[in-house]
Amino acid sequence: MAVEIPEDMELVYSYPESLTKVRTHYCPGCTHGVVHRLIAEVLDELGVRERTIGIAPVGCSVLAYYYFNMDFAEAAHGRAPAMATGIKRVSPDKVVFTYQGDGDLAAIGTAEIIHAANRGELFTTIFVNNAIYGMTGGQMAPTTLPGQVTTSSPTGRNVQTAGWPIRMAELLAELPGVAYVTRQSVLDVPAIRKAKKAIKLAFQTQLAGLGFSMVEILSTCNTNWHMTPVEALEWAKEHMVDYFPLGDTKMTDAVRALKEGK
């Protein structure tokens, strides 16, 4: 739908072509929608929508394929990185990304993400960390904070018995095949703008064939945290950012050069 823009005006906002025009099933206040939009804007800006293949996880974003206007597959729980590997290896000219939650990526799919990253697979992972299993009703996730109450840690996560939250961005940064890993958030507007830049750099890293790229995004789940959307944003800023510090954990020189436009 081309909009006619008068000569003395500038288009500053429009609906991304990479999103379908449907209402999502996400809870009011959920940040999945924000992350979807950022990815869509980036794919539009890079002009790659028509050669992008996305892979949806099992989790609240299981139906992401309804919201992105591009080819999509729905993976088994945690297996998106393996599927992405299969797709990218037989379609090296396509842009491939996985969209995964913390249960999907950091619990059941830990082996798949580590090995895909370690092989330097040329796809991008968008990792939405909301510190909980949203879809199944708020159980403890591998990223649930110490002491955090969930339906399966009713007295708070006890690290003696349940272990510590996993910092995936730091863990993957250790692997030589990884070109770019960063942790961002969508907890306020400046953070959202930064997250978009990071997502763009991650896809550019893929397009330049520099190695595996992942953007971890600290998000909220007001429904299962039993908070209002605003309280949830505040809680995440107060508690999650301490344990999961924001910023790049890995940026190879080649990616830095790409970022600086060299």
Partner 1 sequence: MAKELWEGNAAIAEAAIRAGLEAFFGYPITPQTEVLEHFSKRLPELGRVFLQAESEVASINMVYGAACAGARVMTSSSSPGVSLMQEGFSYIACSEVPAVVTNIMRGGPGLGNVQPAQGDYFQAVKSAGHGDFHMIVLAPSNVQEAIDLMVLAFDLAEKYRTIVMFVADGSIGQMMEPAEMPPMRPVRPPEERAEWALTGAQGRKPNIITSLYLGAENMERVNIRLQAKLREIEKNEVRWKEYSTEDADLLLVAFGTVGRVCQTVVREAREQGLKVGLLRPITLWPFPGQRIAALAEQVKGILTVEMNAGQMVEDVRLAVEGRCPVRFYGRMGGPIPLPDEILPELEKLNAEVGGEEE
Residues that bind partner 1 (CB under 8 A): 49-53, 55-56, 62-63, 65, 68-76, 79, 82-87, 89-91, 93-94, 111-112, 115
141 binds, among ligand TPP, partner 1, none (CB under 5 to 8 A by kind): ligand TPP
Shortest distance, CB of residue 231 to ligand TPP, whole angstroms?
18
Write the CA distances from 244 to 32, 85, 97, 144, 185, integer angstroms. Answer: 18, 27, 23, 11, 10
10 binds, among ligand TPP, partner 1, none (CB under 5 to 8 A by kind): none
Q: Is beta strand 124-129 parallel, antiparallel or unpaired with respect to 212-218?
A: parallel
Nearest CA among 116, 121, 68 for reference residue 94: 121
Nearest CA among 81, 85, 79, 246 for reference residue 167: 246
> Which residues neighbour 75 within 8 Å (Cβ) at sequence distance 6 or greater?
55, 56, 57, 58, 82, 83, 98
Burial of 20 (0-12, 13-18, 19+ CB in 10 A): middle
Shortest distance, CB of residue 77 to partner 1, whole angstroms?
9
Q: Is the dihedral angle over the CA atoms 149, 155, 158, 161 positive or is it negative?
A: negative
Q: How many CB atoms lie within 10 A of CB 91?
A: 12
Shortest distance, CB of residue 142 to ligand TPP, whole angstroms?
8
Give me the 62-101 binding string for ligand TPP, x by CB under 6 A, dash otherwise.
Answer: ---------------x-----------------------x
CB-CB contact of 171 with 216 (8 Å): no
Q: How many CB atoms lie within 10 A of CB 136?
A: 14
58 binds ligand TPP (CB under 6 A): yes
Segment near ligand TPP (CB under 6 A), from 52-60, 63-71, 208-216, 251-259? 52-60
**Looking at 34, 135, 215, 258, which residue binds ligand TPP (CB under 6 A)?**
135
Q: Please give the Cα distance from 177 to 121 (Å, whole number).
A: 8
Shortest distance, CB of residue 87 to partner 1, whole angstroms?
4
Nearer to ligand TPP, 142 or 211 (CB): 142
**Looking at 20, 110, 118, 136, which residue binds ligand TPP (CB under 6 A)?**
136
Contacts with ligand TPP by CB under 6 A: the residue count is: 16
Binding residues for ligand TPP, per CB under 6 A?
A: 58-61, 77, 101-104, 130, 132-136, 141
